[in-house]
Amino acid sequence: MTNKKSINDEPMLGFEEQLKAQANELKELIDGGNVAGALAIISELNETRDKTLYQEVGRLTRTLHESIRNFHIDTANAATDEEVSKIEDASDRLAYVVDLTNKAANKTLDLVEETMPYASGISTEAKQLKDDWSRLQRKEMKPDEFRQLTAKMGTFLAKLSKDSDKVYSNLSAILLAQDFQDLTGQVINRVTTLVKDVEENLVKLVTMAGKVDQMTGNVSQTIEKQETNMQGEGPQIHAETQDDVVSGQDDVDDLLSSLGF
C-alpha cells in the first residue's frame, strides 16, 4: 500500500503540554480564591481538548477512508466498474492454492499407486530367476529345466525393459507434478504482502482510535482471549523457537513416556 504517512503526534502533545502548564496555574488561582480566573482556564482547556479531539477524529476518518480504499484492487485495470476487493481476491487465490496442491498430490499419488506394482512385480520375478540361476551355477539343472529358464529369462528381460520404461516415465510425471510449488509459492507471497499491508493499516487505525479514546477519557475494555487450542491450530510454523511446541516425533515420544506411555 502506498500510504506510509507517519502518525503525527503534535496535536496530542500540544494538548498534554497545555494541560500540564495550566494545571499549576489553575491550582494557584483556586488557592488564591480567583474562581472566575480558574473557570476561564477550565473552559480554555475544554476548548483545546475539543479542538484536538476533532482533529484526531478527522484524522481517524481520513486514515480509515484511505485504508478502505487501499484494500481495493487497482480499478483502472479492472475490466468492469465493479470493484473487486483484495481480500476477496486473496481468498480466491488461496482457494486456487488449495486446488493446485490437491491436484498435484492426487496426481502424484495416482502415479505412485500405478508404479508400485511394477516395482514389486520386477522384484518377485527377479527373485525366482535368481533361485533358478543359482541352481544353474551349481550345475544342478537338467537340460529341460535349462531350456525353460532360457525362455523365462527372455520373457523377463523384455518385460523388465518395458516396465522400467513405464517406471521412468511415471517418475518423470511425478517430477513435473511438483511445479505447483512454484505457482503456489508466488500466490502465497502475494497474499502475504496483502495481509502485511492490511495489518499495517489496522495498527494505524487502532493507534489513532486509541488517541481519540484518550481524549474522551474512554477506557476500552480488553476482553482476554481464552486459549482454545483444543480446536486445533494446524501446523506450527516456528516450532523450533516456541517452548510450548514439540520439535518433532522424538519430543512427542519423550513427552508421552514422561506421562507413563
Name the residues that contact other proteins, by CB under 8 A. 102, 105-106, 109, 112-113, 229-236, 239, 244-246, 248-249, 252, 255-256, 259, 261
Q: Which residues pair with 72 in a beta bridge?
A: 85
Q: Minimum distance between the CB of residue 111 and other proteins, rounded to whole angstroms?
A: 12
- Nearest residue (CB) to other proteins, 137 versus 261: 261
Closer of 221 and 228 to other proteins (Cβ): 228
Q: Which is nearer to other proteins, 68 or 256 (CB)?
A: 256
Angle at 71 between CA 65 and CA 73, to 5 degrees: 120
At its nearest, how many Å lie between other proteins and the CB of residue 188?
Answer: 17
Q: How far apart (Å, rounded) are the C-alpha atoms in residues 204 and 1?
A: 13
CB of 103 to other proteins, least distance (A): 10
Query: Which three cell numbers, joined as nine digits, stand for 116?
Result: 508400485
- CB of 73 or CB of 252, closer to other proteins: 252
Distance CA 69, CA 53 (A): 24
d(CA 190, CA 140): 70
Please say which residue, 220 or 249, places its beta carbon nearer to other proteins: 249
Helix (H, G, I), strand (E, B) or coil at 248: coil
| Smallest separation, CB 252 to other proteins (Å) | 5
The residue among 82 and 224 lying less far from other proteins, judged by its C-beta, is 224
Whichever of 50 and 251 has its CB closer to other proteins, that residue is 251
Q: Please work out, in degrees rounded to the nearest 5, the angle formed at the alpha carbon of residue 9 by the alpha carbons of 8 and 10.
A: 95
Q: What is the largest CA-CA distance in the chain?
A: 133
Q: Do 12 and 207 meet the contact criterion of CB atoms below 8 Å apart?
A: no
- End-to-end CA, the chain: 52
Alpha-carbon distances, residue 154 vs 108, 121, 123, 147, 159 (angstroms): 32, 16, 16, 11, 9
CB of 183: closest distance to other proteins in angstroms?
17
Residue 51: CB minimum distance to other proteins, A: 50
